[in-house]
A and B are shown apart, each in its own frame.
Chain A
């Protein structure tokens, strides 16, 4: 037909499109990750990947598994709901290999001050002091045992830090 003869170039152009589209479909089949669409418009396998990230904080239940004596003492005092790693830092490596990885004791001067330094911004009922006035420069553990910090709780352990060191 003469129409097709004179429109042949259009069919060639269209043909390019069709070819490109077919190539696209083939490439797409190989390139799109297999788990894509498993739960929604995303790569389902990424959920598992994210869940497998390393854990750095062991969690207080793991600590209490070995250190039940500390846990018992703590649960009777004011720091009952302060978890171990809130002060001792991330210790999953210690839980993994307790013999080799020894936790470093926190520096009470910085640690205790963070929570207990008095500020008009903190809730009124929360125990807070002005450190300079409160302890005349003595480290906190001179009078307070961190695991049971109330003044009426007996101190059973010797203080461990270097500054001052009054027993």
Chain B
């Protein structure tokens, strides 16, 4: 695909101006972004995820995530067929004991499955940006918090690295950064969403399985989606107010 010089001469400056305005925005200084007008979440459609791992790689690139740690990862579940023998042993209950793998967080995808029995599906996971988050509750100094627009963030200049928040998260989405020695996790690409971009994982997802949602935006498709689909959150019994919604999440998902 070639662009003629002429086209370039016209397009370049226009694009540059547009790009600069995107880069310049910060939540407080940008007249375009007001924190009080947004309440961020994410929708993951299990039916669409193909386990390609694009999201994991994109997140690592965008956010300099160290190897071996994950701000987002993909799990592959295999809920086997129901055992024909009647058994009181719950360990053979496929809803209680699915087979789950996540090789390197699903970063390079998954090995091809050949077993046609049971049901397979992929579950992308990340920080749930809980409205009533147990992790921000336990931080001893106020280094992690939920922003006024609903994103749970870590102030890495203030964090002591005590790892209490890592212990308190029911979803395993936090880790201590190996070199910075502070808590780290998905920031919902805050630096992108406050500039009108979508998150890196949503941008990279080829099937639209991941979508950023703004619950305060009346025009966001999430509102129509919620009217017509059943959605779940992970570990609802923990009452964390998780804002990562899953469509068609199986009961065996932990």
Contacts and interface: CB of A to CB of B under 8 A. Distances in A.
Contacts of A51: 25-27, 190-191, 194-195
Contact of A90 (B19, B61, B190): B61
A41 B113 contact: no
Q: DSSP majority for the A interface?
A: loop
B54 A67 contact: no
Contact of B195 (A55, A56, A120): A55
Contact of A39 (B143, B147, B156): B147
A53 B188 CA distance: 13
A154 interface: no
Interface in A28-52: 33, 36, 39-43, 46-52
Contacts of A98: 8, 12, 15
Contact of B157 (A49, A54, A70): A49
Interface in B23-78: 23, 25-29, 35, 47-48, 50-54, 58, 61-63, 76, 78
A49 B154 CA distance: 11
Nearest to A63: B15
Contacts of B190: 47, 50-51, 53
A66 B191 contact: no
Interface residues on B, range: 35 or more
A98 B15 CA distance: 10
Nearest to A120: B113
B155 A115 contact: no
B203 A86 contact: yes
Interface in A94-148: 95-96, 98, 114-115, 117-123, 126
A93 B29 CA distance: 24
B148 interface: yes
A57 B204 contact: yes
A70 B1 CA distance: 7
Contact of A95 (B19, B47, B156): B19
Contacts of B195: 51, 55
A82 interface: yes
Nearest to B112: A119
Contacts of A33: 158
A66 B1 CA distance: 12
Name the residue among A47, A48, A82, A90 with the largest chain B CB count within 10 angstroms.
Answer: A47
A85 B204 contact: yes
B197 interface: yes
Contacts of A155: none
A42 B61 contact: no
A22 B115 CA distance: 71
Contacts of A118: 112
A59 B15 CA distance: 12
B109 to A, nearest CB: 5
Given A43-B158, A49-B155, 7 more contacts: A51-B25, A51-B194, A51-B195, A59-B203, A60-B203, A66-B8, A85-B204
28 contacts: A39-B147, A41-B142, A41-B145, A47-B35, A50-B153, A50-B187, A53-B190, A57-B58, A59-B197, A60-B203, A62-B22, A65-B18, A66-B12, A70-B1, A81-B206, A90-B200, A98-B12, A114-B52, A114-B53, A115-B50, A119-B110, A119-B112, A120-B112, A120-B113, A120-B114, A121-B113, A122-B51, A126-B207
Q: Which 10 A-B pairs have the closest CB atoms?
A: A121-B120, A46-B155, A42-B145, A53-B191, A41-B142, A121-B113, A119-B112, A120-B113, A82-B206, A65-B15
